[in-house]
Amino acid sequence: MQPPDELMVQVFLPAMRQLVARELRSQGLSQSRISSMLGVTQASVSLYLSSKPERAYSDLESLSVQREEADRNATLLAEDVKRSPVYGVETLGSLWRGMLGRGRVCEAHRRVYPSLSQCDVCVKEYGERERDAAGAIDQVAAAVRMLESSQSLVSVMPEVSVNLAYAPPGAASAEDVVAVPGRIVKVKGRARATLPPEFGGSRHIARVLLLVMSHRPETRASLNLRYDPRMRRVLRGLGLRTLEVSEYPQTTSEDRTVSALASRLGSAKRGFDAVVDSGGKGVEPNLYLFGRSAVEVAALALRIAKIYSAE
């Protein structure tokens, strides 16, 4: 018996531990605290920190995980283990299952065990439909935990609160999009999701996302933030291009922002990275960010929040 979990223990886990240890150290945590969070000895943490990360990146690349994704996963795991060891295990398991289900570990597994050249057990085990559904919810849940761990996000949260949406492949309606029911709200100076993410969790941001996807197929996730002159300066400093919605057509639609955006997209002549709803009577100004994944758009929101709060 030659399960792929051997690669998890021998390759994936040590590499991720080193990257997470380095991320936690960059945040000012002590070696003893890092060792406690990762469940390893302080000597192991010392070795992780004194060794160059190139071996870890190389090992992860052998499992089809490129450097940018590895760094993003390390940031996510670092935030999770700071909150709870359970969160860390949950996210680590989710990342690994996603890799197995997508067949990303197969090549490395077959190099070790050539007799498994025809094996497709992992892909079958996790199943395309079930994997995508579970993976979509897991991804949004992971991104929500990133937002909840931030001390600066509240500075960019609008009065209507924040929501985060992710559309898995094949999504065609709001019911196919994962979002947070009740939104992400301010609780004692921090962002908190009122309920776990689920399919059909928000009609508004799901419809905004699906509209933008019809013009930018690579887009899969969206998140809304407040918009004001300070935010305009932050976006300009980051070089992010915006598409502004400022005129609301006469419509029977209950969502004037979506109707206005649909009209604006039809006449847009240049690319954009975000949508600005400048607001009006009964409509609060909002910024909509977009990305290829829920984690990516959450990371961008946190980067913006950090700059915004420092101004």
Is pLDDT larger for residue 162 or for residue 281? 162
In the block, which residue shows the tokens 């070696």? 31
Q: Is the pLDDT of residue 125 over 80?
A: no
pLDDT, residue 233, reads 96
pLDDT, residue 264, reads 80
How far is it, in rounded angstroms, from Cα 231 to Cα 244?
Answer: 14
Q: Give the mean model confidence (pLDDT) for residues 281-298.
A: 89
Q: What is the mean pLDDT of the chain?
A: 87
E strands along the chain, which residues?
A: 164-166, 178-179, 184-187, 190-193, 198-199, 221-226, 242-245, 274-277, 286-291
Q: Give the mean model confidence (pLDDT) for residues 257-263.
A: 82
Q: For the chain, which residues make up each domain, given as ranges?
A: 5-92, 150-310
pLDDT, residue 84, reads 73
CA atoms within 13 A on the CB side of 222: 27
How far is it, in rounded angstroms, from Cα 78 to Cα 58?
Answer: 20
Tell me which DSSP letter residue 249 carries. -
Q: Is the pLDDT of residue 159 over 70?
A: yes
Q: Which residues of 230-268 are buried (b: 16+ CB within 10 A; e: fewer)?
A: ebeebbeeeeeebbebeebeeeeeeebbbbbbbebbeee
**Amino acid, single-letter form, for residue 259:** S
**Amino acid, single-letter form, for residue 140:** V
Is pLDDT larger for residue 121 or for residue 288? 288
How far is it, in rounded angstroms, from Cα 244 to Cα 238?
Answer: 17
**Amino acid, single-letter form, for residue 218:** E
Token pair of 262 as six digits: 């649909």
Query: Does CATH place domain 150-310 in 3.10.510.20?
Result: no
**Sequential DSSP letters for 174-239:** GGGSEE-TT-EEEETTEEEESS--EET--HHHHHHHHHHHHH-TT--EEEEEE-SHHHHHHHHHHT
The pLDDT confidence band at residue 128, using thresholds 50, 70 and 90, is: low
Q: Is the pLDDT of residue 89 over 70?
A: yes
CA-based nearest residue to 298, from 115, 152, 177: 152
Exposed (0-12), middle (13-18) or buried (19+): which is 271, by Cβ within 10 Å?
A: exposed
Return all residues near 100 (Cβ < 8 A) that are at least 6 apart: 4, 122, 123, 125, 126
Determine contact, residues 311/302, Cβ cutoff 8 Å: no
Tell me which DSSP letter residue 283 carries. B
Token pair of 51 as six digits: 């060794």
Span 15-38, pLDDT tens digits: 999 999 999 999 899 999 999 999
Q: Give the mean model confidence (pLDDT) for residues 155-169.
A: 92
In the block, which residue shows the tokens 């960019």? 156
Find the distance separating the first CA and the last CA of the chain, reported in whole Å.
Answer: 58
Q: Give the mean model confidence (pLDDT) for residues 202-228.
A: 92
Q: Give the mean model confidence (pLDDT) for residues 70-96.
A: 81
Q: Is the pLDDT of residue 283 over 80?
A: no
Q: Say which range, 85-94, 136-145, 156-165, 192-201, has the weakest mean pLDDT.
A: 85-94
